[in-house]
Amino acid sequence: MLQKGLKGIVAAETAISHIDGSEGKLIYRGYEIGELTSRFSFEEVAHLLWFGKLPDKEQLQNLKSELIKNRELPLHIKSILDQLPKDMDLMSVIRTAISSEGVSSYGWKPTTSQAIRLTSLVPTIICYRSRLLDGKPFVEPSNELNHVENYLYMLTGDIPSKAHTLALETYMILTLEHGMNASTFSARVTASTESDMVSAATAAIGTMKGPLHGGAPSAVIDLLDEIRKVGSAEQVIRGKLENGEKLMGFGHRVYKTHDPRAVALKAKLLELVGEDEWLDLALEVETSAIALLEEYKPGRALYTNVEFYAAAIMKAIELDPALFTPTFTASRMVGWTAHILEQSEDNTIYRPQSEYTGKFHDKVTINE
């Protein structure tokens, strides 16, 4: 039976994550996402996805050391970043730079060491290229900062505040992995041919680039900007609902109740009340929006999705919109590589069928 886009078709078994849309749950390796974001760091959750378990102190230190060791860009990647056209979008830049990493040491089968290296390289690639285009000197990665802190440090040249680090770290943990989405499927299909990890990751990056998958929460930022300017969340939101406009940042195609990622982000931001005005504004806007949505669309169960709070975090850390999807990519590299590793352990090449809709001719005819 034809299912366009393979929607609803089970194509693989996985122990990495589970999404329960009806119950509003996202589970990484058996742990609910809210528990992980409330207690563990980016590095600890990455270890969980790659190795199947949370690390002890020694394992965590080893992983941190490996991530730090692989942050520095090789000369050939710096040269590529220097020479790429200035109007080349950043996702294409990341794709090209990561592709150039595909040397002979990357072969079948993929390894966790390769996964760690690719994850380490992406933030440095983003920051090197961004500062180059801004006419600013490159900020060398720090050996003293954790993964998310170092990313913010390389972007700005300043040690980030605790509030900004915790907010972005929570967001990046929440976007590490999300089931068999389009980019993860691309990665697994490529890996299933026994191609190398770099090729599979490059395929995933190319898929993430598409606006239907890796689109940035720009519309939510526009909403927050408007509310801040007007000074009343209720006035702006009521006006949009009266005009029949869609309220961006609310509702999700998978989660039919609360988006667990938004719940986890909100919980973290509640710990940071008073630390940043944009994060505080997001909390205020959500309260007003949920009440008004229930008033105008009763029974629709339209709750905040992860893009809503992601937009507030991006505003708070003053992240340029061009960096939204690349930042998403920097975190999702963990999930992609975890799936590539899992695919390699019990591999079968993907070979779906297609339904022919063309014509059938009895014989070849040529017009004279």
37 contacts: CB under 8 Å, gap ≥ 6: 170, 173, 174, 264, 265, 267, 268
Q: What is the pLDDT of residue 89?
A: 94
Catalytic residue (choose from 101, 149, 307, 342):
307
Whether 70 shows a pLDDT value over 90: the answer reads yes
Question: What does the domain layout of the chain look like in residue ranges?
Answer: 15-212+323-345, 218-316
CB-based contact 183:204 (threshold 8 Å): yes
- On the question of pLDDT at 133 being above 80, the answer is yes
CATH number for the domain formed by residue range(s) 218-316: 1.10.230.10
Q: What rounded mean pLDDT belongs to the chain?
A: 90
Tens digit of each residue's pLDDT (9 = 90 or more) over 144-175? 999 999 999 999 999 999 999 999 999 999 99
Architecture of domain 15-212+323-345 in CATH? Orthogonal Bundle (1.10)
CA-to-CA dists, residue 183 to 86, 189, 213, 252, 360, angstroms: 26, 10, 8, 18, 35
Highest averaged pLDDT of the listed ranges 29-43, 268-282, 306-320: 29-43
Please count the CA atoms within 13 angstroms of the CA of 63 that sit on its side-chain side.
Answer: 26
Is the predicted pLDDT of residue 212 greater than 80, yes or no? no
307 is catalytic: yes
Common-topology check for domains 15-212+323-345 and 218-316: no
Cβ contact 310:217 at 8 Å = yes
Name the pLDDT band for 354 (thresholds 50, 70, 90).
Answer: confident
Could you say which of 252, 286, 339, 342 is catalytic? 252
What pLDDT sits at residue 368? 61
Cis bond before residue 136 (omega within 30° of 0): no
pTM of the predicted model as reported, rounded to 2 decimal places: 0.90
Q: Is 252 a catalytic residue?
A: yes
For residue 308, give the H/E element and its range. Answer: helix 306-316
Distance (Å, whole) CA 340 – CA 342: 5
